[in-house]
Amino acid sequence: MKLIILVSAFLATVNASARVLVGKEFVSMYPVAQQENVFEYQIINIGDTAAINVDFSDRDSFPTDKFDIVSGSLDAKYAVIPPHSSVSHHIVVVPRVPHAIEDKDVLVDYTDSESKISSRVSTLWFSKGRFTHFFHQDALKHITGSKYAHFFVFAAIATPVTGLSALLYWVSKSRYTLPKRN
């Protein structure tokens, strides 16, 4: 019994420092060139102490010769991220031309508030070899746009069925209706 208590006490005190995770997610419905595209970043501290002097950077993903930054910043600084909490960061970009970009790694540097040890995390393991393809607006219309042909096919199927049902109802009603007596 004492051995179990000692092992659990040791495991409880092994890692009490700040541990930061970072994630990048595309929030918009479709990646379209010459329209606003929203990216959301989550910086999560899963450690038991606060992370201080947190520096976030995603400069490599959106070069300024290919993208316009509408809102947000590619670099952000946070003074403190408390333990077991998260911070969200949003960037709105407009690609100038339709193209594919390689997802570069997001870098986050932070310092543990108790031990004062600096650390760096990135999304390299997750985003290595991944691409985001920004489509042209005309290509997106083929995916999401309604086409008149679909409406005409629906009308060609629904009109005879509805018309035949109405005709049969009218014939049946006139044939089997009893006249009113006064």
The pLDDT tens digits of the residues spanning 95-117 come to 988 888 777 888 899 998 888 88
pLDDT tens for each residue of 14-44: 556 888 988 888 898 888 888 899 999 999 9
Domain 2-143, CATH = 2.60.40.10
Taking the alpha carbons at both ends of the chain, their separation in whole angstroms is: 98
Query: How high is the mean pLDDT of the chain?
Result: 82
Check pLDDT > 70 for residue 146.
no
Whole-number Å distance between alpha carbons of 179 and 1: 94
Only one residue has tokens 């947190």, namely: 54
pLDDT score recorded for residue 40? 93
pLDDT one-digit tens code per residue, 65-90? 889 999 999 999 999 999 999 999 99
pLDDT band per the 50, 70, 90 thresholds, residue 129:
low
Q: Give 71's contacts (C-beta < 8 A, 6+ positions apart).
A: 90, 91, 92
Contact, 98 vs 81, CB < 8 A? no
DSSP state of 178: P
Beta-strand ranges (E) seen in 27-176 are 37-45, 51-57, 67-71, 75-81, 85-95, 100-102, 107-112, 118-122, 131-133
Q: How many Cβ atoms from other residues are within 10 Å of residue 37's Cβ? A: 22
* pLDDT at 143 exceeding the cut of 90: no
Strands 67-71 and 85-95: antiparallel
- pLDDT of 1 > 80? The answer is no
Residue 161 — very low, low, confident or very high, per pLDDT cuts 50/70/90? very high
pLDDT band at 144 (very low <50, low <70, confident <90, very high): low
Domain range annotation of the chain = 2-143, 146-176
- The percent of residues in the chain predicted with pLDDT above 70, rounded, is 83
H/E element, 162: helix 148-176
Please choose, from the candidates 64, 76, 71, the residue with its C-alpha nearest in 3D space to the C-alpha of residue 106: 76
Closest residue by Cα to residue 39 from 95, 118, 100? 95
pLDDT above 50 (res 125)? yes
